[in-house]
Amino acid sequence: MSTDVIKARIMTVMRNLPPLPEVTRQLMSVLGNDNASANDVAKVLSSDQALAGKVLKLVNSSFYGVPKEVTTISRAVVILGFTGIRNLALGFGSVEALQKMNSGMDMNEFWSHALANGAACQALVPYVNRRMDPEEAFIAGLMHDIGAYVLATAVPDIYRPILEKRNGDRMAREAEEIGLTHSQVGQGLLQFWKLPDAFSDAARYHHDVARATDGERPLTNLVALADVMACIHGGAFESGGTEADLLALMKGLGVSLDNIKAALQAMDQKVEEMESFMKIAGANSNRAGAADGEKATTCVVVTTEDERRGWAHTLLEHFGHTMYPMDAFFNQAPGHEKVGLVLIDTQCLTQQQVAQLMPFLATQSAQAAVLLERGAKVPEEAADLPRLGIVFSRWDVHSLLVGQPA
């Protein structure tokens, strides 16, 4: 299939996409009026009983945790505010529109990743150096990969193999085999829906670290960092990028490693809370990050860099694994026999150190893997070991431990 034919099919899908529901567009119009009152918003919202019911159900769920039951739309508008109502309408409207499309994509996987990104956005908001609305951040995260849904609908035979290939650069494969990336298509869809530029920019540039961190698009920077965290949390939908990208995105928002640790810890609870949103919206999503048959193990990280060790420990502990000291492992201290995974940071070890390490590891029962930045050279002595990126996911570690390719 030629590039021109592929693009024509994508454009046909785009032209035939269902618009956002009428009530959502009416709300956008009313909320864009500086003279609009809470009664004006409540009147439009009440005109659609289905949406009004969803808003009431959600505002009384754990998603918001209000102390007293909200029984009227007017009260919900007061509690949520205009921005909150707008974002809920956008979220419900986008899910409803996508549900009407016939894509060949695994929707549980798609929504699971989208939900994890939205949860990460909300979890990061308290730590960033810009003032951001948590609900707006959630919706931006929820819709960031919406272009993938369009591609799966327009060219399923081409796009399905791209999605199924877990490693490598998915954006590069999209550009090469389709001629458009999911980011470009997502921007087009959100512009077609006439959503604010901040949302379409986040869809377009969440994989473009340079633009995400230029200071002009703080919501894009947040969604891009949240995307890395969503991949770490689950990892089956797409890879989490490089260490350099992670550090740049953290710097752009003034976020520290301790902030990332705290946000990762908050993600589990936020994913659970936000699943109520997905169920009310009519979309299914398995809990982000779950791996079939996942088992905790004891891990050792062999590195001479404290920051790299701290990062690896943060991720492994977030996945439920236990850490064991490197020196105690080498000295065969009590408990060393429980170690099930050894990660070797070959970028900070000399060739001689790696050569000395390999015979020792051969005597151990633990699975060993090289911890390596994407594109870095693997020492010849460790060439036969599986590799794990510096920014690795729960799914990556699970794949190592069960012996399946990541």
DSSP for 288-355 reads TT--TT----EEEEE-S-HHHHHHHHHHHHHTT-EE--HHHHHTT-TTGGGEEEEEE-TTSS-HHHHH
pLDDT at position 402 is: 85
Handedness of CA 72, 78, 79, 83 (dihedral sign): positive
Strands (E), 345-397: 367-371, 387-388
Q: Is 214 helix (H, G, I), strand (E, B) or coil?
A: coil
Answer for the pair 147, 181: CB distance below 8 angstroms, yes or no: yes
- Cα–Cα distance for residue pair 284/277, rounded to 1 Å: 10
- The pLDDT of residue 9 is above 70: yes
Spans of all domains in the chain: 1-12+101-290, 18-99, 298-402
pTM of the prediction? 0.88
Same fold: 1-12+101-290 with 298-402: no
- Cα–Cα distance for residue pair 165/29, rounded to 1 Å: 42
- The pLDDT of residue 1 is above 80: no
- The pLDDT of residue 263 is above 70: yes
Phi, psi of 370 (to 5 degrees): -90, 130
Q: What is the pLDDT of residues 317-359, one digit of tens each?
A: 999 999 999 999 999 999 999 999 999 999 888 889 999 999 9
Residues 219-235 have a mean pLDDT of: 91
Query: H helices then E strands: how many in the chain?
Result: 20, 5
pLDDT at position 203 is: 97
Answer for the pair 301, 312: CB distance below 8 angstroms, yes or no: yes
pLDDT band (50, 70, 90) for residue 167: low
Q: 146, 118, 151, 246: which is closest to 203 by C-alpha?
A: 146
Q: 144, 180, 136: which is closest to 162 by C-alpha?
A: 180
CATH number, domain 1-12+101-290: 1.10.3210.10
- The pLDDT of residue 293 is above 80: no
pLDDT at position 92 is: 87
- The pLDDT of residue 220 is above 60: yes
Alpha helix segments (H runs only) across 206-284? 209-212, 218-233, 243-253, 257-281
pLDDT at position 294 is: 65
pLDDT band (50, 70, 90) for residue 362: very high
Residues 157-181 have a mean pLDDT of: 85
Residue 221, C-beta contacts closer than 8 angstroms, at least 6 positions apart: 212, 213, 249, 252, 253
Handedness of CA 179, 188, 163, 104 (dihedral sign): negative
Q: What is the pLDDT of residues 269-284, one digit of tens each?
A: 888 877 778 888 877 6
pLDDT band (50, 70, 90) for residue 13: confident
- Cα–Cα distance for residue pair 80/61, rounded to 1 Å: 13
pLDDT at position 276 is: 78
pLDDT at position 288 is: 42
Q: Which of 146-160, 273-287, 296-310 has the lowest mean pLDDT?
A: 273-287
pLDDT at position 193 is: 86
> Could you tell me the CATH superfamily of domain 298-402?
Response regulator (3.40.50.2300)
The C-alpha angle with vertex 231 and arms to 228 and 236, in degrees rounded to 5, equals: 155
Amino acid code (one letter) for 355: A
The shares of helix, strand and coil residues in the chain, as percent rounded to the nearest 5, are 60, 5, 35
Tokens in use for 245? Answer: 């990208």
- Cα–Cα distance for residue pair 42/39, rounded to 1 Å: 5
Tokens in use for 129? Answer: 């150096």
Better-scored residue on pLDDT, 87 or 200: 200
- The pLDDT of residue 214 is above 80: yes
pLDDT band (50, 70, 90) for residue 104: low
Residues 3-25 have a mean pLDDT of: 80
Tokens in use for 234? Answer: 């689950």
